[in-house]
Amino acid sequence: MNATQEQLKEKFGQAMVAAFGGEYAGVDPILVPASNPKFGDYQANVALSLSKRLGKQPRAIASAIVEKLDVSEICESPDIAGPGFINLKLKTTYLEAQLNAIQADSRLGVPIAKTAQREVVDFSSPNIAKEMHVGHLRSTIIGDSIARILEFLGHDVLRLNHVGDWGTQFGMLIAYLREVYPEALTTANALDIGDLVSFYRKAKQRFDADEAFQETARQEVVRLQAGAEDTLHAWKLLCEQSRQEFQVIYDLLDVKVTERGESFYNPLLPGIIEDLDKSGLLVENQGAKCVFLEGFTNREGEPLPLIVQKSDGGYNYATTDLAALRYRIQQDEAKRIIYVTDAGQSNHFAQFFQVARKAGWIPDDVELVHVPFGLVLGEDGKKFKTRSGDTVRLRDLLDEAVSYARADLEVRLKEEEREETQEFINNVAEVVGISAVKYADLSQNRTSNYIFSYEKMLDLKGNTAPYMLYAYARIQGISRKGGINFNELGENTKVLLQHETELALGKYLLQLDEVISTVEQDLLPNRLCEYLYELSKKFNQFYDRDRGVPVLTAEEPLRTSRLVLCDLTARTLKLGLSLLGIQVLERM
């Protein structure tokens, strides 16, 4: 709900008390945006909902409310329509005053959250010795944007990288490297991640085929868990190597995330088993320790167990997540914990959330949210692969986006007969390429699969990063052309909304806070993308030679008023894009 809706709600509260008595204070006016702009901006549906309680016709209730309703500062006089809807149309003078107010506000009218709280965003979270894949890319981009939005709202966000840095894979890898390339276990940077990944693959093949090797690998895991010095040292080197490679991607994407891998929670795992046992949830099943789940059954309809300790004493992914969850609640004091992973892990989250709840570890004021996303598909609709059928390396993918962006830019420069420095070209290509990848991901509803296409994401038309960046640069072009410093438009300028495109743009500019507060709740950044896209379209209509209004050539006071609208649009784009992790370009 935005500030206007809140004010209206309060006024409705007062009117209902005046009309029907004190017990009607706090009744929700059920205020929703009007279904058709012809009827106004908002519609209150409360009269219909009170019909039973008051034993009157909704229309009569509506007129009793309207009679006591004092919204004259905000709206034109309310209309009653249909069975008893109350239609409200915002006054132009009210909108103008609101726009003047946000013009002077660096937050553009978006308030700090009333209850700022600690929130954990668990995202990116690749696995050591394995390559970071497109699923991790989605997690990184979506998680970063969610974190940025929550931070902007004033929440105390802990960005956590739950790196897969522990487990049986290390036994395999270390045992294998001991045989074929022991230097890698003693010398820093003896391998690069590409080698590491291929060694990992070979180690796995060996493990699957050779029983004696399985035993060696297991012993290596035992040595790792027992903290044997050489194994531990080797493990650290391997982690360091992967970390360096991950960092290259984070730098390219301008993403900050704090590493707190699975190994961090190791010492807490025995305590998890103990406490589950104490709470009576733990069951031994064929030597494994588990908790039986509700709502998850096998084909025979029998309840499924969540295994928290295997018969060989080893722990599982879920055990670590239980420990991490408790730590985040008790030590980090998180009030909301958000996990960004592919939808394929939905059961995993539902299951360990359930176990943690049953164990009584989740206080009522703590919210657990799995934020699932769909797959990245190739243009053929199948799993995203290189032409030769290999998995795509993220670094190559990002580099390729940048080189496509560069090629597009060079064509454009030629067409426009423009000369630019190499530095300019490099910067524009990099910003456009990386933004295109991010925006293509964020602009989809994250729960659906998305088709990765360089061509589509770099299209200058449509809901793409280049389109949004271009809209921003175009507005900066107005200030350059007119020799105007937007920052100096001054506080005494008055916004005027006379033309219908001005009114539409002005109203839309005032909706940013509502959009952001929706994303705070549903964690769907695509809503912000849609808003920014719609805003650019509204701006283009306002600035359109035929349908819109003149700006630089307009007479005062309209000229300044329109420049303020330009500036507000640019600032909204810049702020909105920054919350998506996208930086703007003054020129492109």
The dihedrals phi and psi of 226, each to the nearest 5 degrees, come to -80, -5
Does position 125 bind ligand ARG by CB under 6 A?
yes
Q: At what angle do helices 193-209 and 211-226 cross, to 10 degrees?
A: 120
Does position 341 bind ligand ARG by CB under 6 A?
yes
CB 435 within 8 A of CB 582: yes
Secondary structure (H, E, C), 370-382:
EEEECCEECCCCC
Which of 264/339 has CB closer to ligand ARG? 339
Sole binder of ligand ARG in the list 41, 96, 122, 408 (CB under 6 A): 122
Which of 122/441 has CB closer to ligand ARG? 122
Structure-block tokens of residue 250:
């984070």
Which of 121/566 has CB closer to ligand ARG? 121
Which of 125/560 has CB closer to ligand ARG? 125
Does position 127 bind ligand ARG by CB under 6 A?
yes
Which of 162/206 has CB closer to ligand ARG? 162
355 three-state secondary structure: helix
With a CB cutoff of 8 Å and minimum separation 6, the contacts of 333 are: 118
Q: For tokens 């709470």, name the residue.
A: 279
CB 539 within 8 A of CB 569: yes
Residue 348 CB, nearest approach to ligand ARG (Å): 7
# of chain residues touching ligand ARG (CB under 6 A): 10
Structure-block tokens of residue 203:
């180690």
Q: At what angle do helices 229-253 and 134-152 cross, to 10 degrees?
A: 70
Q: Dihedral (C-alpha) 208, 212, 214, 218: value to the nearest 10 degrees?
A: 180
Does position 162 bind ligand ARG by CB under 6 A?
yes
> Does residue 33 have a cis bond before it (omega within 30 degrees)?
no
Instruction: From 120-128, 210-218, 411-419, 510-518, give the range in contact with ligand ARG by CB under 6 A.
Output: 120-128
What mask, x for binding ligand ARG by CB under 6 A, covers residues 311 to 330? ----------x--x------
User: H or E element: which one contains 160?
Assistant: strand 156-161
Q: Report which residue's Cβ sits closest to ligand ARG.
A: 125
Which of 144/321 has CB closer to ligand ARG? 321
Residue 221 CB, nearest approach to ligand ARG (Å): 18
Structure-block tokens of residue 193:
């991640």
Does position 339 bind ligand ARG by CB under 6 A?
yes
Q: For tokens 């914990």, name the residue.
A: 337
Residue 57 CB, nearest approach to ligand ARG (Å): 55
Residue 184 CB, nearest approach to ligand ARG (Å): 23
Which of 324/570 has CB closer to ligand ARG? 324
Instruction: From 121-129, 286-294, 375-383, 426-434, give the range in contact with ligand ARG by CB under 6 A.
Output: 121-129
Instruction: From 31-39, 122-130, 276-284, 455-463, give the range in contact with ligand ARG by CB under 6 A.
Output: 122-130
Give the amino acid at 333.
E
Residue 136 CB, nearest approach to ligand ARG (Å): 6
Sole binder of ligand ARG in the list 29, 164, 167, 305 (CB under 6 A): 164
Residue 351 CB, nearest approach to ligand ARG (Å): 12
C-alpha span between 338 and 389 (Å, rounded): 34
Neighbours of 372 (CB within 10 A): 16
Residue 452 CB, nearest approach to ligand ARG (Å): 19
With a CB cutoff of 8 Å and minimum separation 6, the contacts of 160 are: 120, 121, 122, 123, 257, 258, 260, 328
Site residues, ligand ARG (CB under 6 A): 122, 125-127, 162, 164, 321, 324, 339, 341
